[in-house]
Amino acid sequence: MFRTILRREFQETGDSFTLLSALVALTIIVPLSAYIQARYYQDVVKDYALRQSINKTENNDQSIVLIRPIPPLAPFFNGAYDSLPDELRLRNDSATASAPSGDLRPLDWLFPKIDLSFIIGVLMTLLTILLAHDTIAGDREQGTLKLILAGPILKRTVLAAKVTGVVLPTTVILIYTVFLYTIVVTVSSEGAVGLSGVNLSALTVFTLVSIIMLIMTAALGVAISASAKRSSASLFACASIWIFITLIWPTFGAYITSSSKPVPPPEAFQRDMASKEKELIREELAEHRKTTANLKEQQVGVEAAWQRYLEVRRKWIERRNEEIERLVRERNKQIHDQQTFARRILLFSPYVAFNEVLGSLCGTGLENYDEFLAAVERYRQQEFIPNGLELRSRQKPWLNAADPDERLQLPPLQTPAPTLSKRLAAAAWPLSILIAEMIILMMLGVRNFERYDVR
């Protein structure tokens, strides 16, 4: 009986106008989007190489620029990668890292780029809703539900067949979409997108998470269909919920949570920091003046004075680190609290949870940016400052014969690519929310169908 209902569902879905039109639309959109993303990624890779060569020449013991590594799966999910600074400058006279410059991309803010996450999270979930909304209510309208339930079959079995009848075709389309997108991205990027090992595994998990997303959406459609008497009412409710969780809540939620937990504007923070820096600069200059007076009094030679100067300098760098870091820590805590609050509220939207999981898998999420910031801070403290001071200690500025080729030799910034298990661990919380929502909606569907009035 299960098979008979399933076969009928497949037949209905296969013949449906919705599936056909969605398939045609996806066949046009997917290669176009993949091609554009691949071309864009190529530009990003070229830019990265360019920046590396510029920075190699311009970095010195006074200031260096560190570039954020490019996530290899960015063409599949852009996430926050484009919206956040892609390089940070460290200066030996400042205790903070600043983003030196950014390209002008106003159009990206008006019209977000279409990537695979958009195609699955928006277009394919809509397709699933369109297929699932009339599974029960539609049969009731046609009168076939009575006939099906007249047979020796449990309502749960009917429901399972209905959900499978929606999920299986959409899964096939999903696999087709991911496959097509991956092929076009790989070919069009001319080798810029490397898919091997961990990235390919991440892409497989990406597909599995997308299937969970589609099952969750199908469960939503069936649960509503099992509580509506007419398929048009069911579709109206499904479409409203879909619009709310996919388009309205993520957009509004982010702004509303930001305004309900505000952090002082960036310029105010910069001003506080500047005022602290100025205070420290004044004190440091005063100590240098005092030191030079003492050294003159003691008639110390220039080499010993240089060593004394370096000690003073090191002391003030440490002091500045301590004082400014305290301000930065407070600021980061405020931002972190705001983000955590926003996340908690927003994750109720399955679309946001889906995006969060993809962000962790593709390395384009907000946590990845936080990791980059942490790596830069470690680098500043462990490499840039000690090596800069060490270089200074070797120099003899009083001879006016500094070797121009004696440059600051620093190891590259270490931001190891996380393993798949680490990526999954980072995605555990949003993924569990997505799975919980799927289970709850399935249970709701079963409950609604058990009480459904088939007349």
Subset of residues 233 to 262 that bind other proteins, contact rule: CB under 8 A = 235, 239, 243, 247-248, 250-259, 262
**Phi, psi torsion values for 91, nearest 5 degrees:** -125, 145
Mapping DSSP onto H, E and C, the string for 186-246 reads HHHCCCCCCCCCHHHHHHHHHHHHHHHHHHHHHHHHHHHHCCCCCHHHHHHHHHHHHHHHH
Q: Does an H or E element contain 311, and which? A: helix 302-346
Give the range of 130-138, 180-188, 419-427, 432-440 binding other proteins by CB under 8 A. 130-138
d(CA 106, CA 73): 23
* Residue 63, strand partner residues: 91
Q: Considering only residues 273 through 302, tell me which ones interact with other proteins, judged by CB under 8 A.
A: 274-275, 277-278, 281-282, 284-285, 288-289, 292, 295-296, 299-302
Q: Which is nearer to other proteins, 36 or 149 (CB)?
A: 36
Among 23, 123, 149, 444, binds other proteins (CB under 8 A): 123
What's the farthest any 2 CA atoms get from each other in the chain? 109
CB of 151 to other proteins, least distance (A): 26
**Phi, psi torsion values for 81, nearest 5 degrees:** -55, -50
Among 228, 346, 376, 441, binds other proteins (CB under 8 A): 346
Q: Tell me the one-letter amino acid at 135.
A: T
Burial 146-158 (b: 16+ CB within 10 A, else e): eebeeeeeebeeb
Among 64, 90, 126, 145, binds other proteins (CB under 8 A): 126
Q: Under DSSP, is residue 413 helix (H, G, I), strand (E, B) or coil?
A: coil
CB of 196 to other proteins, least distance (A): 27
- Regarding 348 and contact with other proteins (CB under 8 A), the answer is no
- Regarding 116 and contact with other proteins (CB under 8 A), the answer is no
Q: Considering only residues 17 through 46, tell me which ones interact with other proteins, judged by CB under 8 A.
A: 17-18, 21-22, 25, 29, 32-33, 36, 39, 43
CB of 276 to other proteins, least distance (A): 10
Give the range of 97-105, 144-152, 174-182, 444-452 binding other proteins by CB under 8 A. 97-105
- Regarding 180 and contact with other proteins (CB under 8 A), the answer is no
**Phi, psi torsion values for 99, nearest 5 degrees:** -85, 115
- Regarding 337 and contact with other proteins (CB under 8 A), the answer is no
Q: Which is nearer to other proteins, 315 or 447 (CB)?
A: 315
- Regarding 430 and contact with other proteins (CB under 8 A), the answer is no
d(CA 367, CA 328): 18
CB of 443 to other proteins, least distance (A): 27
CB of 450 to other proteins, least distance (A): 26
Q: Which is nearer to other proteins, 248 or 436 (CB)?
A: 248
Q: Tell me the one-letter amino acid at 221.
A: G
| DSSP single-letter state for residue 98 | B
Residue with tokens 């305004």: 259
Q: Give the number of other CB atoms < 10 A from CB of residue 34.
A: 28
Q: Which is nearer to other proteins, 1 or 374 (CB)?
A: 374
Q: Considering only residues 43 through 72, tell me which ones interact with other proteins, judged by CB under 8 A.
A: 43, 47, 50-51, 53-54, 57-58
Give the range of 149-157, 158-166, 272-280, 376-384 binding other proteins by CB under 8 A. 272-280
Instruction: Please say whether the dihedral angle defined by the alpha carbons of residues 313, 314, 318 and 324, taken in this order, is positive or negative.
Output: positive
| DSSP single-letter state for residue 113 | P
Among 241, 305, 324, 389, binds other proteins (CB under 8 A): 305
Among 15, 103, 297, 453, binds other proteins (CB under 8 A): 103
Parallel, antiparallel, or unpaired: how do β-strands 87-91 and 63-67 relate? antiparallel
Q: Considering only residues 311 through 330, tell me which ones interact with other proteins, judged by CB under 8 A.
A: 313
d(CA 171, CA 175): 6
Among 171, 177, 199, 355, binds other proteins (CB under 8 A): 355
- Regarding 265 and contact with other proteins (CB under 8 A), the answer is yes
The radius of gyration of the chain from alpha carbons, rounded to an integer in Å, stands at 29
Q: Considering only residues 369 through 428, tell me which ones interact with other proteins, judged by CB under 8 A.
A: 369, 397-399, 404
d(CA 140, CA 129): 18
Q: Which is nearer to other proteins, 105 or 447 (CB)?
A: 105
* CB-based contact 29:114 (threshold 8 Å): yes
Q: Which is nearer to other proteins, 280 or 440 (CB)?
A: 280
Instruction: Please say whether the dihedral angle defined by the alpha carbons of residues 357, 358, 361 and 366, taken in this order, is positive or negative.
Output: negative
* CB-based contact 454:155 (threshold 8 Å): no
Structure tokens at 239: 């479409």
Among 63, 186, 201, 270, binds other proteins (CB under 8 A): 270
- Regarding 113 and contact with other proteins (CB under 8 A), the answer is yes
Residue with tokens 């996530």: 71
Q: Which is nearer to other proteins, 325 or 370 (CB)?
A: 370
Residue with tokens 């889906």: 354
- Regarding 154 and contact with other proteins (CB under 8 A), the answer is no
Q: Which is nearer to other proteins, 346 or 413 (CB)?
A: 346
